[in-house]
Amino acid sequence: MSIVITGATGQLGRKVVEQLLARGVEPSTITAGGRNPQALQELAATGVRTAQIDYSDPDTLEAAFSGAEQVLLISGSEVGQRVPQHKAVIDAARAVSASVVYTSAPQASTSALILAPEHKATEEMLAASGLSHTVLRNSWYTENYDDAIRQAAAHGSILTSTGSGKVASATRTDYAEAAAAVLISANYAGQVLELAGDEPWDFDELAATVSDVAGRGVTVNQVTTAEHVEALKGFGLEEATAEFVAALDANIAEGLLAESDGTLSRIIGRPTTPLNQYVTQLLAT
Ligand SMILES: NC(=O)c1ccc[n+]([C@@H]2O[C@H](COP(=O)([O-])OP(=O)(O)OC[C@H]3O[C@@H](n4cnc5c(N)ncnc54)[C@H](OP(=O)(O)O)[C@@H]3O)[C@@H](O)[C@H]2O)c1
């Protein structure tokens, strides 16, 4: 077995490497890739091989994928550039006939989620590649709310335009365990897996959880999308970023991140990390 993890210098990829090692995968069969030299050095210290991987530089992909049997393609973080970047990764995997596992988004092929189109296009490129592949349609990270949770604990309020929309979040560790389990098993080839937390929550529940853990009242300040954009700009966000963040909340309000069918907990063999446990750990640090 020889596995290349792209985006291994990032928060999710690093955890996938840890989970593979924890499952007894021989370190020398893992190649951890990314652009950040310091993060690559830290990964090398765990005994894995490392490689410079830049999705926009096909030479780095060709060099890193030499001899690879599997590639975990962690979706890039440069929104708007991901389709050509992911195409380059799939082309390089095809050159060595490696199978591909890809981190996508919930119901990417049909969802109105503003982030879905690049994931849908990538899934279509994978299907057209003829490569054996598995799609991990990861839902939201609970970590996306770290700042909101800390601010709620400190100031007693949470600003949102999600209405009563639910978020089926799970932690990066939950998703990383699933990715590792899928990479070391032959059982998931050809599958599209919708991965989400077991217990979708809304912002009233988030506020109640922070309130319980922090021991103080927390109110939810529900605003419209337009008011949210203005408030975010007032906090110093650029207009485009503020609109993006508020559009994601609007997607949540529409229920686009609410689905959970238990696939993630089945794959990792335990319940996903409960919100209360996550908030307790976060506020203790
Ligand atoms: N489900 C969610 O809630 C959620 C939230 C945020 C993001 N995401 C998606 O999930 C991915 C992984 O999440 P994360 O938390 O690990 O993000 P992260 O910590 O920002 O890590 C992103 C990783 O992608 C790599 N990368 C980005 N652009 C690249 C490029 N052009 N060439 C090569 N590598 C590139 C980065 O490498 P270097 O830093 O070394 O350049 C880094 O290793 C993100 O990239 C994004 O697509 C999902």
Is residue 122 situated within a structural domain? yes
Token pair recorded at residue 21: 């090692």
Asked if residue 134 and residue 43 are part of one domain, the reply reads yes
Is residue 133 situated within a structural domain? yes
Is residue 224 situated within a structural domain? yes
Asked if residue 154 and residue 95 are part of one domain, the reply reads no
Asked if residue 119 and residue 20 are part of one domain, the reply reads yes
236-250 average pLDDT score: 97
Asked if residue 19 and residue 66 are part of one domain, the reply reads yes
Centroid of ligand 1 to alpha carbon of 77 (angstroms)? 4
Centroid of ligand 1 to alpha carbon of 5 (angstroms)? 12
Asked if residue 114 and residue 8 are part of one domain, the reply reads yes
Is residue 173 situated within a structural domain? no
Asked if residue 150 and residue 124 are part of one domain, the reply reads no
Is residue 179 situated within a structural domain? no
Main-chain dihedrals φ then ψ at residue 217, nearest 5 degrees: -70, 140
Give residue 113's Cα distance to chain centre.
Answer: 15
Residue with tokens 């190649």: 31
Ligand 1 pocket check for 35: Cβ under 6 Å: yes
Give residue 61's Cα distance to chain centre.
Answer: 21
Question: Are 104 and 135 in contact, with CB atoms under 8 Å apart?
Answer: yes
Ligand 1 pocket check for 145: Cβ under 6 Å: no
- Tell me the per-residue pLDDT of 160-210, one tens digit each, with 9 for 90 and over: 999 999 999 999 999 999 999 999 999 999 999 999 999 999 999 999 999
Asked if residue 235 and residue 149 are part of one domain, the reply reads yes
Split at pLDDT 50, 70, 90, the class of 114 is: very high
Q: Is the dihedral of CA 68, 74, 78, 79 positive or negative?
A: positive
Is residue 186 situated within a structural domain? no
Ligand 1 pocket check for 238: Cβ under 6 Å: no
Is residue 189 situated within a structural domain? no
Asked if residue 130 and residue 9 are part of one domain, the reply reads yes
CA angle 237, 202, 161 (to 5 degrees): 35
Residue with tokens 């990390």: 273
Asked if residue 157 and residue 71 are part of one domain, the reply reads no
Question: Are 22 and 35 in contact, with CB atoms under 8 Å apart?
Answer: no
Centroid of ligand 1 to alpha carbon of 90 (angstroms)? 17
SS3 104: strand
Ligand 1 pocket check for 55: Cβ under 6 Å: yes
Residues 6+ apart with CB under 8 A from 281: none
| Spatial distance between the Cα atoms of 185 and 21, rounded to a whole number of angstroms | 15
Ligand 1 pocket check for 74: Cβ under 6 Å: yes
| Spatial distance between the Cα atoms of 31 and 75, rounded to a whole number of angstroms | 17
Is residue 265 situated within a structural domain? no
Asked if residue 124 and residue 241 are part of one domain, the reply reads no
| Number of domains within the chain | 2
Centroid of ligand 1 to alpha carbon of 236 (angstroms)? 23
Of 90, 119, 138, the last residue of a domain is: 138
- Asked if pLDDT for residue 254 goes beyond 80, the answer is yes
CATH of the domain at 114: 3.40.50.720
Supply the pLDDT for residue 45: 97
Q: Which of 54, 56, 75 is nearest to 12 (CA)?
A: 75
Ligand 1 pocket test, candidate residues 15, 74, 85, 146, most atoms within 8 A of CB = 74
In the chain, the percentage of residues whose pLDDT exceeds 70 is 100
Asked if residue 116 and residue 60 are part of one domain, the reply reads yes
Ligand 1 pocket check for 54: Cβ under 6 Å: yes
Q: Which of 152, 139, 26, 16 is nearest to 73 (CA)?
A: 16
| Spatial distance between the Cα atoms of 92 and 66, rounded to a whole number of angstroms | 9
Split at pLDDT 50, 70, 90, the class of 62 is: very high
From the CA of 57, give the closest atom in ligand 1.
Answer: 32
Asked if residue 94 and residue 34 are part of one domain, the reply reads yes
Split at pLDDT 50, 70, 90, the class of 248 is: very high
- Asked if pLDDT for residue 1 goes beyond 90, the answer is no
User: What integer best gives the mean pLDDT of the chain?
Assistant: 97
Domain of 228? 143-166+198-258+274-280
Residues 6+ apart with CB under 8 A from 219: 156, 157, 158, 207
| Spatial distance between the Cα atoms of 20 and 32, rounded to a whole number of angstroms | 11
CATH of the domain at 209: 3.90.25.10
Centroid of ligand 1 to alpha carbon of 213 (angstroms)? 30
